[in-house]
Structure formats: C-alpha cells, structure tokens
Amino acid sequence: MTEAPCILVAGTWDTKDAELVYMRDVIIAQGGRVLTMDVSVLGDPSSPTDISKHQVAEAAGSSIAAAIAAEDENTAMQIMATGSARLAAKLHSGGRIHGVIVLGGTMGTDLALDLCSALPLGVPKHVVSTVSFSPMLPPERLAADIQMILWAGGLYGLNSICKASLSQAAGAVLGAARAVEPPRRDRPLIGMTSFGKTVLRYMVTLKPALEARGFEVAVFHATGMGGRAFESLAAEGAFAAVLDFAPQEVGNHLFGSAISAGPDRMTAAGARGIPQIVSIGCYDLVDVVGWHPLPAQFADLPSHAHNRLLSSVVLDAEARRKVARAIMGKLAQAKGRTVFLLPTRGGNEWDREGGPLHDAEGLRAFIEEVRTCCPPNVELRELDAHINDPEFSEIALTIVDDWISAGWLPRG
C-alpha cells in the first residue's frame, strides 16, 4: 500500500458525535486516513460527514423522510443498515477503504453486523459496542473475522474510561489495515471442517496430501464461529471444493445448542455448486456451553466434559436419526457434485468399539437413516472403516483425484 490506509468510521453522528470524532482523530494522529459515514436518522452531526445519512438511506433505495415516516426505530435502523452495508462494500471494492470501525449501542451494533458482513474476509472490521460478546448477538450474523471491544462506561459522553476502549479500537483497526495479509488466490482453495486431533485426525493426512497436489487447504474448527467462517467463504465462492467432514454444528442447531453456526450451516457450498464431500465427524454429539446447566432435554444422556468451556452430550438413536434427516435434507438442495462418505465403524475417536462413548445401536440407527434418506443427487459411499482410519483419508483423496481427472475440480 503506497499511502496510509483509509478507515471507514461509521455511527450515529447526531448522538455520538464526540466519541466518533475522538476515534477519527486517534486514527489520523496515528498516520491513518479516515472516511466518515453518518447512519443517524433524526438528528445531524456537528459538522458534515464524508457520507451523509441521506446518501446512506438512498443506497438502501429509500430516504430519511421514509425512515422517519415509518415511526418505528427498527424499520428505520434496517434502512440505514442496508444502505451502509451496500456503500461499505462499494467503497472497499473501489479501493477507497481498507478497514472499518463502527460504534454503537444495540441499534448501532445491529447495523454494524450487517455492514461488517458485507465486507470480505481479510478486511479489518472492528465494532465498539455496549453489547460486545453478548448472547443477544447470533453467530450467523457475525462476520468471520469481526473484532469487538466493549464500549465500557461510554454510553453518554466521553471520559477516561471509555477513551481507553475507543483509542484501543481505533489503533487496532489502523494497525490491522497496515499489517493484514489478505487471502491469496494463487492456488485453488479447499475448505475442510474438523476438530482437534484428540477426536478427529484425518486432516493430519489430508492437508499435506492435498497441498502436494497444488491446493491450499484451510481447516475450520466446527464450534460455531468456525462453521460461520466456513459458510461465509463458501457463499463467496472462495472454495474450489469442500471436505465437510465435521457436521456437528448441524446437530447443535437442530437441538437448540448455543454453540451454533446458524440455520444455514451446510448449505452455502451446495447453493454455489461447489463440489463437496461430506462425512460424519462427531455427528453423534451435541456441544453445549460447559459452564451452563445441562439442558433438561439432555439430562438422561451421557456427556463428556471437554474442558470448562465445552461439554458434549452423546445423542441417543432417535436423535441421531433426526441428525441424519437434517443433513440429507440440506444436501438434497446441493447444485454441485456431492458425495456422502459414510465410515460404518464410527465418526470420532471416542466412539470406536470399546471406546468410552461407543453406542452400537445409535451408530446403526444413524447409518440406516442415511441409507433411507439419501437423496438422488448425493452419491453415498460406505466404507468398512472408522473416520480416523487411514482408509477414510485414502478414499477421500481418491474422490478428489477422480474429480480432477474428470475436470470437475481444477488442478492445483
């Protein structure tokens, strides 16, 4: 970058003028450039911003007059959220901004989530919010690389407490814009889902083998936000193929766990027609927040405490049938080549025969339901092996090689 990064500073400049001006000045004092955006509705800033509230509303196909006439703050906010997201995406694609910082309470944060989601991974996105890290923020609305800091003690006016948060955030977004190494596009990218090597091990073999074939491989930790990042990149068309071997987030969402990647998990690759191999890593578990009381629906089921943050409930046979139906329902919508790779000896290290979480009846019920529900657009491949056995990785590589030979997957 030949000149200083330009940071988009967005917020309601009618009510938070002093705080936004403070962050703007910190960025400038640190050698950055700033573009200001007003997302207010009722009032006006003390001095004009680079992008006015009228331009934001117009970008949403509406107007400030219409937002006011709605006489509903939620409707007005959504007009401004749509407009700000569209403008931010346009500014970035045109090379005019290199990062964004948004300030707000619940209203501003709601808008900020849309604005940040409109920007691709690798663009620094910082939100200073009174509700940072709150459970009211649904995982499916969080951009893959969003950064948040609590706007502590600053709901109304500047003070030394809130300046500590505001200055950190302003310096962080500028530093990130200077230091970021955006994703390269020089090799075809394969997205893979997994968990740590304690429970799933295929990536240890597959990643170097795929890299030797000329691919870049990104492995996503399928614990809610990892799945969101995976889905957002798939929706962008970033992947040449996906190896979605850890579908546990589907079950998490199905059974109401807070550790969710949202209702759209396992849909983006199919919607884009991206070739995908799907398997059963930890299909039999539902993760729950370890320090929360165990939900009543799981009270009679065995569970495994992974650490103080995370526990896993072992699903019974009927629940596993529901997971199978949910997965197959999602794959039925896929527009691209789809293989469901079914290792009939189990889907995580703990459920091997003789293992602490082994449930032969539950595994059998899942397999039967997969066979029954597998849609015609999905190729079902069964193998007499466990997901962590070498045979599983060998079959996955064979499928990839076949796709390359047939021209369905580009050569790396």
**Tens digit of pLDDT for each residue in 153-187?**
877 788 999 999 999 999 999 999 999 988 888 89
Picking from 122, 155, 179, the residue at the C-terminal end of a domain is: 179
Residues 108 and 38 in one domain: yes
Residues 316 and 357 in one domain: yes
Q: Find how far residue 176's CA is from the centre of its chain.
A: 19
Residues 29 and 175 in one domain: yes
Picking from 139, 158, 179, the residue at the C-terminal end of a domain is: 179
List Cβ<8 Å contacts ≥24 apart for 291-294: 292/258
**CA dist., res. 5 & res. 182, Å (int):** 14
Count of C-beta atoms within a 10 Å radius of residue 264: 17
Whether residue 346 is predicted with pLDDT greater than 60 in this model: the reply is yes
Residues 111 and 23 in one domain: yes
| Start-to-end CA span in the chain (Å) | 29
At what angle are helices 360-373 and 317-331 packed, to 10 degrees?
Answer: 30
Looking at the domain assignment, is residue 411 inside a domain?
no
Q: Strands 310-314, 338-343: parallel, antiparallel or unpaired by DSSP? A: unpaired
CATH of the domain at 37: 3.40.50.12020
Residue 217 sits at the vertex; the CA angle it makes with 213 and 218, to the nearest 5 degrees, is 175
**Where does residue 100 rank: exposed (0-12), middle (13-18), buried (19+ CB within 10 A)?**
buried
Share of the chain above pLDDT 90, in %: 80
Looking at the domain assignment, is residue 308 inside a domain?
yes
Question: Residues 268-294: what's their mean pLDDT?
Answer: 94
List Cβ<8 Å contacts ≥24 apart for 22-27: 22/158, 22/163, 22/166, 22/167, 23/101, 23/103, 23/128, 23/166, 23/167, 23/169, 23/170, 24/170, 26/166, 26/167, 26/170, 26/171, 27/101, 27/170, 27/171, 27/173, 27/174
What is the token pair recorded at 12? 């309601």
Give the count of alpha carbons within 13 A of 203, CB side only: 23
Between 212 and 186, residue with greater pLDDT: 212
Whether residue 15 is predicted with pLDDT greater than 70 in this model: the reply is yes
Confirm if 324 and 370 have CB atoms less than 8 A apart: yes
Count of C-beta atoms within a 10 Å radius of residue 181: 6
Looking at the domain assignment, is residue 184 inside a domain?
no
Residue 1 confidence class, pLDDT cut points 50, 70, 90:
low
CATH of the domain at 268: 3.40.50.12030
**CA dist., res. 37 & res. 39, Å (int):** 6
Question: Residues 339-367: what's their mean pLDDT?
Answer: 94
**CA dist., res. 97 & res. 123, Å (int):** 9
Report pLDDT for 303.
84
* DSSP bridge partners of 382: 342
**Tens digit of pLDDT for each residue in 295-312?**
888 888 888 888 888 889
**CA dist., res. 100 & res. 8, Å (int):** 5
Residues 297 and 214 in one domain: yes
Residues 69 and 40 in one domain: yes
Looking at the domain assignment, is residue 130 inside a domain?
yes
Where do the H-state alpha helices sit in 70-192? 73-93, 106-117, 160-179
Residues 359 and 259 in one domain: yes
Show the beta-strand stretches assigned E in 297-377: 303-305, 310-314, 338-343
Residues 31 and 117 in one domain: yes
State if pTM tops 0.75.
yes
What is the token pair recorded at 227? 């799945």
DSSP helix/strand/coil, 370: helix
Length of the chain measured in residues: 412
Residues 339 and 268 in one domain: yes
Residue span of the structural domain in which 274 resides: 189-406
Q: What are the backbone angles phi and psi of residue 335, rounded to the nearest 5°?
A: -95, -15
Residues 145 and 246 in one domain: no
Whether residue 256 is predicted with pLDDT greater than 80 in this model: the reply is yes
Residues 232 and 316 in one domain: yes
Picking from 157, 179, 201, the residue at the C-terminal end of a domain is: 179
Report pLDDT for 398.
97
**CA dist., res. 111 & res. 85, Å (int):** 8
Looking at the domain assignment, is residue 247 inside a domain?
yes
Question: Residues 237-252: what's their mean pLDDT?
Answer: 96
Q: Find how far residue 79's CA is from the centre of its chain.
A: 24
What is the token pair recorded at 365? 């019920």
Residues 6 or more apart whose Cβ sits within 8 Å of residue 11: 19, 20, 37, 38, 39, 102, 103, 104, 108
Question: Residues 379-405: what's their mean pLDDT?
Answer: 97
Looking at the domain assignment, is residue 1 inside a domain?
no
Report pLDDT for 307.
86
In the chain, count H helices and then E strands: 13, 14
Q: Find how far residue 181's CA is from the centre of its chain.
A: 19
**Tens digit of pLDDT for each residue in 102-159?**
999 999 999 999 999 999 989 999 999 999 988 888 877 888 889 999 998 877 788 9
Looking at the domain assignment, is residue 135 inside a domain?
yes
- Eight-class DSSP state of 250: H
Report pLDDT for 242.
98
Residues 167 and 243 in one domain: no
Confirm if 294 and 313 have CB atoms less than 8 A apart: yes
Average pLDDT in the chain: 94
Report pLDDT for 289.
86
Looking at the domain assignment, is residue 412 inside a domain?
no
* Total count of domains within the chain: 2
**Tens digit of pLDDT for each residue in 214-234?**
999 999 999 988 998 899 899
Confirm if 112 and 137 have CB atoms less than 8 A apart: no
Report pLDDT for 51.
98
